[in-house]
Amino acid sequence: MTQDSVQQRLLAAWRECQRHRHFIGYALSSLQMSLPITGERLTRLSDAEVQSLDQFVLRFGKLQDAIGARLLPSVLLYLQEPYEDRPMLDKLHRLEKLGYIEDSEQWQALRILRNRFAHEYPDDPDKNAAILTLAIESVASLTSIMERIDQKLALSSAS
């Protein structure tokens, strides 16, 4: 793979992450009047608010997936780090050591949170609200990862 194609792969992953982050922001701004989410509020959301919440959940998962499956591996490839066939935990530790992510354990916690979205608890709106609240709070962590990568590689100016 040429360095130019590696850079194009990195920029494509970056643009995908930016797009998901944009729509997360849009969904959260649409939900502003409903925040903080509580179990009671969750049961009384309007159709438009449910749609915005669904958009948030979808984009949160997509952003977390895109960062983990595309952006972080592309960063290592761009840096010519021989981690392509290594387990994700090894990649995370290397990226942490290089200063591209703050904490590999934080990333794993974000992954666990993203997986919790797969389980909806129809009889427990308080539990659903707690998961959503954690996810809303975790957007800052995903954004921080993107900002660290951008600061080191200046991807915003290259896209």
Separation of alpha carbons 77 and 10, rounded Å: 8
Is residue 120 one of the residues assigned to a domain? yes
CA angle 39, 34, 62 (to 5 degrees): 85
The answer to whether residue 82 sits within a structural domain is yes
Quote the number of domains for the chain: 1
Please give the Cα distance from 91 to 96 (Å, whole number): 9
Q: Is residue 85 part of a domain?
A: yes
Res 124: pLDDT: 87
pTM beyond cutoff 0.85: yes
Domain of residue 123 covers: 3-154
pLDDT tens per residue across span 107-138: 989 988 888 876 766 788 999 999 999 999 99
Tokens 């904490």 found at: 103
20 located within any domain: yes
| 142 inside domain | yes
Instruction: Quote the mean pLDDT of the chain.
Output: 92
Could you tell me the two tokens for 3?
């360095």
Domain membership flag for residue 159: no
Residues present in the chain in total: 159
Is 93 within the bounds of a domain? yes
- pLDDT at residue 61, rounded to an integer: 93
The residues, ordered by sequence, that sit 6+ positions from 138 with a Cβ below 8 Å of its Cβ are: 60, 110, 113
User: Tens-of-pLDDT digits for all 159 residues of the chain?
Assistant: 798 999 999 999 999 999 999 999 999 999 999 899 999 999 999 999 999 999 999 999 999 999 999 999 999 999 999 888 899 999 999 999 999 999 999 998 998 888 887 676 678 899 999 999 999 999 999 999 999 999 999 887 876
